[in-house]
Amino acid sequence: MKIARVTAHALNPPVPIRAPGIDRTVNRPIVFVEIETDSGIVGHGITSLAPAKGAAALIANTVTPLILGMDARRITDVWNAMYRELCHRGQTGLAYHAISAIDIALWDIRGKALKEPVWRLLGGARDKVPCYVTMGLPSMDRDQLASVAKHWVSQGMGGVKMVVGVIARDRAHEFPNMTEALLEDARRVKAVRDAVGHSTDIAIDINCELDPAQALTLVRMCAGYGLAFVEEPVPDNDARQMADFRRQTALQIAAGQSMGALYRFKELLVQQAVDIIQPNVVNCGGYTGGMRVADMALGFATPICNGGGSTQHNLHLQAGAVNGTICEWHPYQSAGAVAAICPTAPKPQNGYLTLTDAPGLGFDPDPAALKEYAYKE
């Protein structure tokens, strides 16, 4: 079963943001890849969190000539060929985005060929995965945050996550000093805690926006609000700085959603920098890369969790791996973007995403959406 055709679609689909006082649409760039085999089976992959046109061009101009004619069943062989060509001496960046999209499409093909869902091919540890929602956008004021949090909890979500640190970065001029800017973030966390009570988990995502001292100040301001975990607390996910941060806070630390190469994940584990590691299949090398991280983390008794990227695709990794746990549902980012392209992709019900017996990924992009949301030259 040879790879006969590869098509990369750079897309910019609209994602609605609706909350009390907010009704607007933003665009979230993603890349969908379509691989057709000479047997007629077609698989689809995705990458995000990268310049869509750049990633699509890399796939079209460099990856496609490399892998055409290769055996689609030999996923590791294709993965290694891409790695040798794109990741000379351990480089990462766009290379891992391209590898991820191709790898996901090949697993979709494998599942369709074997008439099995990807999550079972990856191990089939569970057929139902709980999810939390990322709902605390910087554009929402405290009242909006409280209302949106109540809405998602009423939908059965067991936890909510808030984006923090952006106010200190982008709106510091509104405050007399950095401490006051960080206090505003803490007040926002308090507003959500007051709204949902103490039976709902609240996590915060710093997104590498603060330096370690600022991040430490912020989490200490939030000490009374029962944080479930803190995500990406230091710049560039520096393992040694994160390990220091973890020791000083005694909070659960999560990171990894933006990383590619396996050695970066190894560094987090060896340095004891994380309690939860977050391989994201849309940029860590697809399911092949994600399972390598999951297996390595198992040796450190560390769970994996979906953070960022496409929930609908990461769902298969969380369900397949024995140390899989929970998915992030981000309706205003790539989960919303994938929903715009793939209307049959799974959505949370009562706080869970349920896997099916449908072969491969279990859903395909709408061809009309691929045309409608393509980047216009």
Give tens-digit pLDDT for 298-323.
Answer: 999 999 999 887 999 999 999 999 99
- Determine the pLDDT at residue 321: 98
The torsion angles phi and psi of 322, rounded to 5 degrees, stand at -65, -30
Structure-token pair, residue 39: 């047997």
- Determine the pLDDT at residue 10: 95
pLDDT confidence tier of residue 119, bands split at 50, 70 and 90: very high
Percent of the chain with pLDDT over 70: 100
Q: Average the pLDDT over 320-346 and give the result.
A: 92
Position 142, amino acid: R
Q: Is 376 helix (H, G, I), strand (E, B) or coil?
A: coil
* CB 66, CB 30: distance < 8 Å: no
- Determine the pLDDT at residue 277: 98
Which has more confidence, 325 or 334?
A: 325
- Determine the pLDDT at residue 138: 81
pLDDT at residue 25 greater than cutoff 70? yes
DSSP 8-state code for residue 304? B
Write down the pTM of the prediction.
0.95
The mean predicted confidence, pLDDT, of the chain is 93
Number of CB atoms found within 10 A of residue 212's CB? 16
Q: Is 228 helix (H, G, I), strand (E, B) or coil?
A: strand
Burial class (CB in 10 A: 0-12, 13-18, 19+), 370: middle
Question: Domain 3-115+367-372 - what CATH class?
Answer: alpha beta
Position 181, amino acid: A
Position 59, amino acid: I
Q: β-strands 128-136, 327-329: how paired?
A: parallel
pLDDT confidence tier of residue 20, bands split at 50, 70 and 90: confident
CA-to-CA dists, residue 227 to 143, 189, 210, angstroms: 20, 9, 18
- Determine the pLDDT at residue 349: 93
Angle at 294 between CA 112 and CA 103, to 5 degrees: 35
**Digit-coded pLDDT (tens) for 34-66:** 999 999 999 999 998 888 999 999 999 999 999
Of the chain, the end-to-end C-alpha distance in Å amounts to: 35
Q: Average the pLDDT over 10-28 and give the result.
A: 86
Angle at 316 between CA 122 and CA 231, to 5 degrees: 115
pLDDT confidence tier of residue 167, bands split at 50, 70 and 90: confident
* Contacts of residue 43, Cβ cutoff 8 Å, sequence gap at least 6: 34, 35, 37, 72, 104, 105, 106, 107, 108, 109, 110, 112, 360
Burial class (CB in 10 A: 0-12, 13-18, 19+), 247: exposed
Q: Average the pLDDT over 267-286 and give the result.
A: 97
Q: Is 374 helix (H, G, I), strand (E, B) or coil?
A: strand
What's the rounded Cα separation, in Å, for the pair 134 and 162?
6
Q: Is 209 helix (H, G, I), strand (E, B) or coil?
A: coil
Angle at 286 between CA 281 and CA 292, to 5 degrees: 90
- Determine the pLDDT at residue 376: 79
Q: How many CA atoms lie within 13 A of 89 on its CB side?
A: 0
The torsion angles phi and psi of 194, rounded to 5 degrees, stand at -60, -35
Same fold, 3-115+367-372 and 120-354: no
- Determine the pLDDT at residue 74: 97
Question: What CATH code is assigned to 120-354?
Answer: 3.20.20.120
The torsion angles phi and psi of 116, rounded to 5 degrees, stand at -135, 145
Number of CB atoms found within 10 A of residue 298's CB? 14
* CB 103, CB 45: distance < 8 Å: yes
Name the residue ranges covered by the structural domains of the chain: 3-115+367-372, 120-354
Beta strands in 155-223 (DSSP E): 159-163, 201-205
Q: Average the pLDDT over 102-124 and give the result.
A: 98
What's the rounded Cα separation, in Å, for the pair 45 and 102?
6
Lowest mean pLDDT among 8-17, 121-130, 233-242, 265-274: 8-17
pLDDT at residue 76 greater than cutoff 70? yes
What's the rounded Cα separation, in Å, for the pair 97 and 84?
15
DSSP 8-state code for residue 375? P
pLDDT confidence tier of residue 377, bands split at 50, 70 and 90: low
Number of CB atoms found within 10 A of residue 190's CB? 17
Q: Please tell me which of 14-18, 43-47, 169-173 the model is most confident about, judged by mean pLDDT.
A: 43-47
